[in-house]
C-alpha cells in the first residue's frame, strides 16, 4: 500500500489564465493531505543529526535555537548547525528553502536593540528578520507578543462585521418578534466559525530535541 502511495504519481500545473503544463512524474515527497503522509515524513526525518542548537519542528517547519552570552558564539553555532542540516537534507533528496529561512534574535539587551545575526549557509548570509513568524505566531525581540496581538486585533476587527451580519440575520429570521433575543446555539456557531479560529491558531506546540 505504501509503495502504491509514493510511486507512479504525476502532476500538471495550471495557471490563472487556464494554461496547463505537460504531465510530469513525481519522483519524491509524499501526497499532501494524505492520512499516511505525516507518519511517513516523520519517519523519514527521525534520524535528524545531532546539533549544538536545540531543534523545534512541526511537520516540515524546522527551527533551531542556541543561547549564549556571546554574539559570535551564537552565529558560529547556528551557521555550523544549519550547514549540518543542509547536508542531511541533501542526502535524502530534500532541500533547505533559503527564501523562507531567516535568522532572528530574542534578548532583553536594550543597548543593542538593532543587533542583527550573521548566520551563513553555503557562504551566504541568511536574511535577518526582527519579527519572524513561526507557525502563525509573530515573534518580537523581547517576546512580548505585542506585534502578534496587534495583528490579531486587526484580523478580528476585519471579521467582526461579518459575524455581526450573520448574527443579525439569524436573530431576525429566528426571533423576528423579539428585538433583543437571548444568545442561542446559532450565535455560538457564528462565533466559533468567524472569530475563534483567528484566536486559537496555531493549535499545536512544536516538538523539540
Residue 136: per-residue pLDDT: 83
pLDDT at 185: 55
pLDDT on residue 172: 44
pLDDT at site 67? 93
The candidate with the shortest Cα–Cα distance to 130, out of 152, 148, 105, 147, is 105
Block means of pLDDT (10 residues each) for the chain, 209 residues, are 72 86 81 78 83 86 90 94 92 84 92 91 92 88 89 79 64 48 55 65 56
C-alpha cell at position 45: 526525518
User: What pLDDT is attached to residue 194?
Assistant: 65
Per the structure block, which three cell numbers stand in for 178? 423579539
Amino acid at each position: 500500500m505504501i509503495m502504491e502511495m509514493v510511486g507512479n504519481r504525476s502532476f500538471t500545473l495550471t495557471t490563472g489564465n487556464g494554461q496547463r503544463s505537460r504531465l510530469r512524474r513525481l519522483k519524491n515527497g509524499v501526497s499532501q493531505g494524505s492520512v499516511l503522509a505525516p507518519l511517513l515524513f516523520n519517519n523519514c526525518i527521525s534520524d535528524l543529526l545531532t546539533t549544538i542548537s536545540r531543534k523545534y519542528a512541526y511537520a516540515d517547519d524546522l527551527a533551531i535555537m542556541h543561547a549564549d552570552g556571546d554574539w559570535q558564539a551564537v552565529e558560529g553555532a547556528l551557521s555550523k548547525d544549519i550547514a549540518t542540516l543542509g547536508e542531511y537534507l541533501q542526502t535524502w533528496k530534500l532541500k533547505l528553502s533559503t527564501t523562507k529561512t531567516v535568522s532572528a534574535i530574542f534578548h532583553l539587551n536594550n543597548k543593542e536593540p538593532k543587533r542583527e545575526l550573521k548566520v551563513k549557509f553555503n557562504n551566504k548570509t541568511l536574511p535577518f528578520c526582527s519579527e519572524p513568524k513561526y507557525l502563525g505566531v509573530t515573534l518580537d525581540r523581547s517576546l512580548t507578543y505585542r506585534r502578534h496581538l496587534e495583528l490579531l486585533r486587526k484580523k478580528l476587527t476585519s471579521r467582526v462585521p461579518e459575524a455581526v451580519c450573520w448574527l443579525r440575520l439569524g436573530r431576525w429570521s429566528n426571533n423576528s418578534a423579539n428585538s433583543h433575543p437571548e444568545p442561542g446555539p446559532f450565535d455560538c456557531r457564528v462565533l466559533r466559525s468567524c472569530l475563534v479560529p483567528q484566536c486559537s491558531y496555531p493549535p499545536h506546540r512544536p516538538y523539540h530535541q
